[in-house]
Amino acid sequence: MVKVAVAGGTGGIGRHIVDAILNTQLHQVVVLSRSPHHADLQSRGAEVIAVSYDDPTSLENALRGVHTVISTISDGGNIDAWVASQRALLQASVQAGVKRFAPSEFNARPSRLNDPVELYTYKAVVAEAAKNSGLEYTLFENGVFMNYLASGTKGVGYLNPLKFVFDVENCSAKIPGDGNNEISWTRGEDVGAFVAASLELESWPEISWMAGDRKSFNEIRKLAEKVRGQYTPIMTRRDSHPGSTQHTLTNICRENVRRHIRVGRRSSQANTAKPTVYDD
């Protein structure tokens, strides 16, 4: 048993991770939050500590005795503040004697894309800082959250609704390129289970890939049509230029993962995802 701190663990993907770790009953869970009032988590055994990312002392004190820090801090629309918070959390982890650190990634790996993507490149700054920190670290990469397809319903889970490419609720889609490139899709619940299972690994790889499934946008569209009916394409993004949103989305779709870790293998004794390395 180790003590695990999840920064930003009261909502979003952080809450899915906290729930999954608590479900294992194998580790002490500390949730770093800007507010200490989260009775639902505390009733399940999690310790909730209010911290300020502008106060290095409060962060360092909160992390004393913690073995692993998992950051799920969202940018909140302010990239500079997000980077500063991540750096502060990383520095406090080093000072507090933390052994493992996972920055807030949970997307597609930027180096797989042909062109810079603003959405991801700022995360590379923090990833590089983690690499140079001296701590054992990993970047959890899951592609697109499958929950976004359920935006507007309970299926979105703890994630904020985001109609990424598909608006299933209104039977419409904005498919980039020809829509035939496969990408990774993973449920937030499975991401949580994967991260929880990764705590049992003796060592962490630099990149922890996971995929609940790999399907193209056209395949997703066909599945959605079976449930919701005929889709209306709002825009076809085929003639995009470098630097445009269309081009960015197309490059994300061209992500080709050769070595990754999949979610899906579960033990017969417990509902626990087993991280397994595959070479394609």
Give the pLDDT score at 239. Answer: 45
**Which of helix, strand or coil describes residue 28?**
strand
Give the pLDDT score at 61. Answer: 97
Sequence-separated (6 or more) residues with CB below 8 Å from residue 162: 145, 148, 151
Confirm if 45 and 29 have CB atoms less than 8 A apart.
yes
Kindly report the three-state secondary structure assignment for every residue of 220-262: HHHHHHHHHCCCEEEEEECCCCCCCHHHHHHHHHCCCCCEEEE
Q: Residue 14 corresponds to which amino acid?
A: G
Give the pLDDT score at 119. Answer: 54
Q: What burial class does residue 207 get, using C-beta atoms within 10 Å of its C-beta: 0-12 exposed, 13-18 middle, 19+ buried?
A: middle
Give the pLDDT score at 276. Answer: 46
Give the pLDDT score at 109. Answer: 58
Let me know how long the chain is: 280
Please list the pLDDT of the chain residue by residue as tens digits (280 residues). 899 999 999 999 999 999 999 999 999 999 999 888 899 999 999 999 999 999 999 999 999 999 999 999 987 778 889 999 999 999 999 999 999 999 999 986 554 444 455 556 788 889 999 999 999 999 999 999 999 999 989 999 999 988 888 999 888 888 888 889 898 999 999 999 999 999 999 999 999 999 999 999 999 999 999 888 777 766 554 444 554 444 555 554 444 333 333 333 333 333 334 454 343 3
Question: What is the chain's alpha carbon radius of gyration, rounded to the nearest angstrom?
Answer: 19
Give the pLDDT score at 107. Answer: 81
All domains of the chain in start order, with CATH:
3-279 (3.40.50.720)
